[in-house]
Amino acid sequence: MAKANVLYPGQTIGILGEGPSTPVLLMTAKRMGFNVGMYSSNEDSKAMQLADYKYIGPIDDKQTLKMFAERCDVVMYDNDFIDSDIIRYISEFTSVPQSDGLLDIIQDRLIERSFFETLNINMVPYSTIVTLEDIYQAINSIGYPAILKPIQRGLLNGKELLIKNQADIVLASGFLDAGTYILESYVEHDIDYSVIVTRTEAGDQEIFPVVEVVYKNNQLMTAFTASKLDPSVEKEMKRITKEITNNLDYVGTFEVSLFLAKSGSIYVSRVAPLLSPAGFVFDYAANVNEFEQHIRAIVGLSLTKIITATPTVYQTIRKKDYQRIKTQWVIKGNWHFTIYGNQASDDDQAVGNVLIPTESLPDTLMQLEATGIWNDIDYKDKYLKK
């Protein structure tokens, strides 16, 4: 018997906005039998080439957005910089299960921190900054080092300022012309984590195993299924994730980013309505991946109960790494490559990734180090602790 709120093969899913994960998300939807429409300003993108229906226009072109929305049985977005007003607008013409609420929270760092405070979730001390004098006053309670971040994510291309001492404060004067900022304490820590979770419209949720991640210049570079994780730490991270999930109206897969301070305290750094690169490991590390779970939630299906599978390492391939991976392409039989087909604008932009299912995480991390390709990543610090 057909269910009213469930989409079936042959119906149309629309995707608004693009990221590295979009072609995989699109192909997963097509594999499940759905037609897929794309709305993008980039007619040459890989996702646009794969779509069944293509709508090209600026993200705020309401006439084209309306035509796109009316063509789709449901729309999902794959970019957390899309203005929530756009989501509210297209919701007048079709279903958008992800809704606009999480976008409203994460695009304004003050709203995001208020959300965490309401849930009594641990986060680093912070202060609102409008003038240079605000920094001089706030630093007394926050202490050094501290990070100055724009309230609106993406402002100044996400540029941040690390303030190590009083002499660095004057460097903030150029930043403050762009708007309001927050100053937050930089808490020393060695380990960052990602928890991927999927939520249905009814509030049911499935949490993937915890993933340890390595960042470089705010870009996720390496991720692997966490091993030797203290059970109490894992339990607390999943409790935090459940608390956040229970207080959102978001439908689909999203990421909770956390870190473990040297003191042993767990802090939440952000929540993102994205198919995270950290979650790519579940192509091999679980019986279902984040893409299929996301679409199952979006189209009204029950979620797959997650069963842990093979430990897996994810490694970003940047434009500057691309030529050097060709040797590994030939000799590494257990390395599984994905090349995005995008035109990278700078050397540090991701153009692909490699997934490595493994019986030994330390051996695989040492293998990555031995290639010399990613010599700016500190693998040794990770494999010595495994």
Residue 304, C-beta contacts closer than 8 angstroms, at least 6 positions apart: 206, 287, 288, 292, 293, 296
Shared domain for 292 and 368, answered yes or no, is yes
Shared domain for 27 and 153, answered yes or no, is no
Element (H, E) at 112: helix 109-118
Average pLDDT on 368-385 reads 92
Domain containing residue 37: CATH number: 3.40.50.20
Mark which of 185, 219, 254 sits at the end of a domain. 185
Shared domain for 159 and 281, answered yes or no, is no
Shared domain for 137 and 199, answered yes or no, is no
Task: List pLDDT tens digits, range 37-54.
Answer: 999 998 888 899 999 999
Q: What is the rounded distance in angstroms from the CA atom of residue 148 to the CA atom of residue 110?
A: 13
Q: Find the domain containing 216 and state its range.
A: 189-383
Task: List pLDDT tens digits, range 59-96.
Answer: 999 999 999 999 999 999 998 889 999 999 999 999 99
CB 190 within 8 A of CB 262: yes
Per-residue pLDDT at 213? 97
CB 266 within 8 A of CB 196: no
CB 297 within 8 A of CB 352: no
CB 15 within 8 A of CB 77: yes
Residue 183, C-beta contacts closer than 8 angstroms, at least 6 positions apart: 126, 127, 129, 134, 135, 138, 139, 142, 146, 147, 148, 149, 163
Structural domain total, the chain: 3
Six token digits for residue 262: 């040297």
Ranking 18-22, 238-242, 365-369 by mean pLDDT, the lowest is 18-22
Q: Is residue 104 part of a domain?
A: no
Q: Is residue 282 part of a domain?
A: yes
Domain containing residue 171: CATH number: 3.30.1490.20
Per-residue pLDDT at 174? 78
Q: Where on the phi/psi map is residue 200: left (φ > 0), alpha (ψ -120 to 50), or beta?
A: beta
Give the burial string for 224-259 (b: 16+ CB within 10 Å, else e).
bbbeebeeebeebbbebbeebbeebebbbbbbbbbb
Per-residue pLDDT at 155? 66
Per-residue pLDDT at 158? 66
Six token digits for residue 197: 């979770």
CB 364 within 8 A of CB 358: yes
Shared domain for 330 and 343, answered yes or no, is yes
Beta-bridge partner residues of 258: 193, 268
Q: pLDDT band for 4, please (50, 70, 90 cuts).
A: low
Q: Is residue 108 part of a domain?
A: no
Shared domain for 172 and 205, answered yes or no, is no
Q: Is residue 172 part of a domain?
A: yes
Shared domain for 209 and 309, answered yes or no, is yes
Q: Is residue 346 part of a domain?
A: yes
CB 14 within 8 A of CB 39: yes
Mark which of 167, 185, 203 sits at the end of a domain. 185
Q: Is residue 114 part of a domain?
A: no
Shared domain for 35 and 65, answered yes or no, is yes
Shared domain for 247 and 315, answered yes or no, is yes
Domain containing residue 338: CATH number: 3.30.470.20
Shared domain for 334 and 319, answered yes or no, is yes
Q: Is residue 6 part of a domain?
A: no
CB atoms within 10 A of CB 13: 23
Q: Is residue 105 part of a domain?
A: no
Mark which of 133, 161, 185 sits at the end of a domain. 185
Shared domain for 230 and 324, answered yes or no, is yes
Q: How many Cα atoms are found within 13 Å in the side-chain-facing hemisphere of 161?
A: 22
CB 256 within 8 A of CB 197: yes
Shared domain for 319 and 339, answered yes or no, is yes
pLDDT at 384 over 80: yes
pTM score, two decimals?
Answer: 0.93
User: Per-residue DSSP letters for 264-332?
Assistant: S-EEEEEEE-S--GGGGGHHHHBSS-HHHHHHHHHTTPPPPPP-B---EEEEEEEGGGTGGGHHHHHH-
Helix 290-298 vs helix 22-31: crossing angle, to nearest 10: 60
Task: List pLDDT tens digits, range 167-214.
Answer: 999 888 877 877 789 999 999 888 999 999 999 999 999 999 999 999
